[in-house]
Amino acid sequence: MDIFGKIKEKLSHEFIDIIEWLDYTDDTIAHRFERYQNEIKNGAKLIVREGQTAVFINEGQLADVFEPGTYDLTTQNLPILATLKGWKYGFNSPFKAEVYFVNTHLFTDEKWGTKSPITLSDDRFGLVEIRAFGTYAFKISDAGKFIIDIVGTDSNFTNFEINEHLKSLIATRFTNTVGQANLPIELYAANTTELSDTCREVMAPEFQSVGISLEKFYIENVSMPEDLKKEIFEYSRIDKLDLDKLTKFKTAKAIEAAAQNEGGTAGAGMGMGMGFVLAQQMGGMMNPQMGGVTVQGQPAAAQTPPPMPMPTQYFYAVNGTQHGPVSFEQLQALFAGRTVNRDSLVWKQGMAAWTPLREVEELKSFLGGNTPPPLPTE
């Protein structure tokens, strides 16, 4: 071979490019393969490794997409680019195109969280605020769409850049989902698995619209103010107990505490009431010993007092379930413990229908704010 043949052979080898990308990072999603003036020689070799996709862009338009493998770049392997360039009979000269390598492996343990508290309306506790945080995993499912819609002309696109967008999307959709779920407030923390699955189903189509597949979504914690948490714990314990027995127990404790307050009006009144009860009990015990003694000419039996009037018994509804009967004092204790409220339905004998507590005359004292009428003027 003469000297000109050797030079021609050398130049032919130098004109053959090898296009590949070795990723030494853990956070790069898309990398643009840099060429001088973006020129690629005819017959260049393209190497796409496992976990990668190569995307060819021509003048801002999506051309050809290559899955893992080794390719010799000819018009047969670049049908879309050949159409865009107008190559009818192949090409022999270098051509211009941007080549992006997209990392298609799974990006895991990405963090998300609500920046501001979410306000929810609960039937028992009113307006409450919760926060939530967790993790998610994603991967690029449509490399061409992802390059066009998200990456644009960025030469090195990392998951930090896309995470800011994804976190905002997740927070917005999470807020909408929990708002529409309309669950009792205590169930948000107890059903994180079901809620996570629901949120992933809601968010997946929006991720897919830009070429991203939301593979995993986890809610790790739902937090709420400490005072609300204590109320929920107390309510859950009460809900598991016999409400009638619990009310009687609380009433007995209240009587005991009032009786010990000897210096107060409540204690004095309670003491008098207990004294009357004891006197009646003692009178009943002594009557059998009187042996038919008459008073003012009447037989002893005629001196027996009539039966004590039965105290009014109330029924009340909680979450659509009827409870009771309970006494006035027991119902007052239930109101103080927030088992019932001003809007709870109650019923007693003689009432035509269930009525909100606030509309029952003798129960309005529970609501407070009662003011006596002005004294009559002389």
Give dist(CA 276, CA 111) in Å, integer. 69
> Can you tell me the mean pLDDT for 10-38?
75
By mean pLDDT, which of 34-43, 196-205, 287-296 is the weakest?
287-296
User: What pLDDT is recorded for position 89?
Assistant: 66
Domain count, the chain: 3
Contacts of 212 (CB under 8 A, 6+ apart): 138, 139, 140, 141, 146, 162, 166
Indicate whether 85 and 134 sit together in one domain: no
Give dist(CA 193, CA 181) in Å, integer. 14
Indicate whether 245 and 355 sit together in one domain: yes
Which of 103, 132, 148 corresponds to the end of one domain? 103
User: What's the one-letter identity of residue 56?
Assistant: F
Alpha-carbon torsion 239, 241, 243, 248, what sign? Answer: negative
> E strand or H helix at 31, and its extent?
strand 28-33
Contacts of 28 (CB under 8 A, 6+ apart): 103, 156, 157, 158, 159
242-251, Cβ contacts within 8 angstroms, sequence gap of 24 or more: 243/318, 243/323, 243/334, 243/339, 244/323, 244/324, 244/326, 244/330, 247/326, 247/330, 247/333, 247/334, 248/330, 250/333, 250/337, 251/327, 251/329, 251/330, 251/333
Indicate whether 250 and 360 sit together in one domain: yes
User: What's the one-letter identity of residue 317?
Assistant: A
Lookup: tokens for 294: 């008459």
Indicate whether 249 and 321 sit together in one domain: yes
Indicate whether 75 and 124 sit together in one domain: no
User: What pLDDT is recorded for position 155?
Assistant: 85
Share of the chain above pLDDT 70, in %: 75
Average pLDDT, the chain: 78
Indicate whether 70 and 182 sit together in one domain: no
For residue 13, with 0-12 CB atoms within 10 Å meaning exposed, 13-18 middle and 19 or more buried, which class applies? exposed
User: What pLDDT is recorded for position 8?
Assistant: 47
Lookup: tokens for 74: 């000819």
Tens digit of each residue's pLDDT (9 = 90 or more) over 280-333: 544 454 454 444 444 444 454 456 777 777 788 999 999 889 998 999 989 888
Indicate whether 149 and 64 sit together in one domain: no
121-125, Cβ contacts within 8 angstroms, sequence gap of 24 or more: 122/184, 122/185, 123/184, 124/184, 124/185, 124/235, 124/338, 125/185, 125/228, 125/231, 125/232
Whichever domain contains 175, its CATH number is: 3.30.479.30
The DSSP 8-state label assigned to residue 298 in this structure reads B
**Residue 374 within any structural domain of the chain:** no
User: What pLDDT is recorded for position 190?
Assistant: 73
With a cut of 70, say whether residue 1 has pLDDT above it: no
**Please, which pLDDT band fits residue 58 given cuts at 50, 70 and 90?**
confident
Most confident of 143-147, 155-159, 371-375: 143-147
Give dist(CA 334, CA 238) in Å, integer. 11
Range of the domain at 342: 241-258+312-368
**Residue 76 within any structural domain of the chain:** yes
Tens digit of each residue's pLDDT (9 = 90 or more) over 226-256: 777 777 666 666 555 555 666 776 677 777 7
**Residue 297 within any structural domain of the chain:** no
**Please, which pLDDT band fits residue 68 given cuts at 50, 70 and 90?**
very high
Residues facing residue 136 across a β-bridge: 110, 217
> Can you tell me the mean pLDDT for 67-75?
91
Tens digit of each residue's pLDDT (9 = 90 or more) over 326-360: 999 898 888 888 888 999 999 998 898 999 999 99
By mean pLDDT, which of 35-39, 79-83, 270-274 is the weakest?
270-274
Give dist(CA 75, CA 90) in Å, integer. 6
Contacts of 187 (CB under 8 A, 6+ apart): none
User: What pLDDT is recorded for position 295?
Assistant: 45
Indicate whether 253 and 354 sit together in one domain: yes
> Can you tell me the mean pLDDT for 28-46?
84
Nearest to 42 by CA among 5, 81, 2: 81
> Can you tell me the mean pLDDT for 167-194?
81
By mean pLDDT, which of 69-78, 85-94, 243-252 is the weakest?
243-252
With a cut of 50, say whether residue 274 has pLDDT above it: no
By mean pLDDT, which of 7-21, 52-66, 171-185, 350-364 is the weakest?
7-21
Give dist(CA 221, CA 170) in Å, integer. 15
DSSP for 308-355, written as a single string:
PPPPP-EEEEETTEEEEEE-HHHHHHHHHTTSS-TT-EEEETT-SS-E
**Please, which pLDDT band fits residue 267 given cuts at 50, 70 and 90?**
very low
